Structures are given as C-alpha cells and as structure tokens.
C-alpha cells in the first residue's frame, strides 16, 4: 500500500477477528518500529509483545483508570475489549535516560510517538489494525509485566485483523486551521 493511502485510511480499530497474526507480519511491524528516527539515534523504545490470553485480559482491566474516565462519564476505556480480544498486544515503553531532555522537552515521548506512528501505519499497510491506548494504570502494568521502575510505559497497542471497517475518519481540522506560513498566524 502506498504510504499516503496508509496514512489516509488508517483508523483506530477496536474490534478484531479471532485470527492469529502471521509471524512475518508481526516481524515486519517490529522492523518498522526499529527503523524510526530517534534522539541521537539512541532508540529509547522498548517493546513487550503479549500474546497470552490471561495477561491480555489483565492488561485490559488496567486500561480503565477510574479517576480519569469516571468524571467523563465513561464506564470503560473504549479500547478495553480490544486489548482483551486482539491476538497481540504491544506494550510500548521507553527509557527516558536513553533520550534527550532539553529545555523542558522530554524527547523520549517524541521518540516513542514516532515509533508508534510507524507501528500503526505498518499495521495498516499489512491489512492489520491497531489503536493507540494511552490511558492505563502504569504502576500496576509495570508490576504485571515486570517492567523496571526507570522505564515509562507510553502506550498499548492491540494488534490484529480488523473485524470492523470504520468509514470516514473523525473530522479533522482543515490545514489552514493549524498551519501558517512564514510567521505564526499568517495565512
């Protein structure tokens, strides 16, 4: 698939077929993460690939953080079922010490964000779906997966063959709303 087609047609997928992911496809997605640019090429991302059903169920349970969702009127994370049902869940972590910290900017989040973009676009290009799940109980998840204290968990990515085909994406602002030329605000 052409890169622009992948960008235009990628959507968050929250329903998956009960069908395993071929090893080569999973490997290709991990390779896409591997090739992402990063601060000084330090490659601060660390991934945990989870396939075990009971661990995925526990991860799913940790994606509902009441203090975040309850005030919004949510009784679950919209991706809670996806985390339990997708054949694979990728836990994207980063080591902040292996990235830049400059003038109050934490570049490990940028590095991990670019890796996440590669992951989701590669999945789309291979006919798979994913969704960035950014709300979870980090401390409990670290304990569950034996992730060291110094590492941050940045996102969870259910991965699998889509069982839904979301149509037109949620609306996006026109380019003119967020882009100016030569000077801030100039159209």
Ligand X SMILES: Cc1cc2nc3c(=O)[nH]c(=O)nc-3n(C[C@H](O)[C@H](O)[C@H](O)COP(=O)(O)O)c2cc1C
Candidate segments 17-25, 39-47, 50-58, 76-84, binder of ligand X by CB under 6 A: 76-84
Q: What 3-state DSSP class applies to 90?
A: strand
Check residue 37 for interaction with ligand X (CB under 6 A).
no
Check residue 94 for interaction with ligand X (CB under 6 A).
no
Q: What 3-state DSSP class applies to 69?
A: helix
Whole-angstrom distance, CA of residue 97 vs CA of residue 22: 34
Judging by beta carbons within 10 Å of its beta carbon (0-12, 13-18, 19+), is residue 122 exposed, middle or buried? buried
| Number of chain positions touching ligand X (CB under 6 A) | 12
Using the minimum distance from each CB to ligand X, give the nearer residue, 95 or 136: 136
Residues in region 133-172 near ligand X by CB under 6 A: 133-135, 169-170
Please report how close the Cβ of residue 136 comes to ligand X at its closest, in angstroms: 7
Binding site for ligand X (CB under 6 A): 11-12, 77-79, 131-135, 169-170
């Amino acid at each position: 698939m052409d890169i622009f087609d992948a960008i235009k047609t990628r959507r968050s997928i929250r329903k998956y077929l009960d069908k395993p992911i071929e090893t080569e496809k999973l490997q290709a997605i991990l390779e896409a993460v591997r090739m992402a640019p990063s601060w000084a090429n330090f490659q601060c991302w660390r991934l945990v690939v989870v396939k075990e059903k009971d661990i995925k169920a526990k991860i799913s349970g940790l994606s509902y953080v009441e203090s975040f969702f309850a005030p919004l009127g949510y009784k679950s994370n919209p991706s809670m079922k996806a985390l339990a049902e997708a054949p694979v869940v990728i836990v994207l972590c980063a080591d902040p010490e292996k990235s830049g910290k400059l003038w109050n900017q934490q570049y490990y989040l940028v590095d991990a964000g670019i890796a996440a973009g590669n992951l989701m676009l590669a999945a789309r290009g291979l006919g798979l779906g994913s969704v960035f799940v950014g709300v979870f109980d980090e401390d409990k998840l670290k304990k569950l997966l034996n992730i060291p204290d110094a590492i941050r968990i940045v996102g969870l990515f259910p991965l699998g063959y889509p069982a839904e085909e979301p149509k037109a994406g949620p609306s996006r602002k026109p380019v003119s709303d967020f882009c100016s030329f030569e000077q801030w605000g100039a159209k």
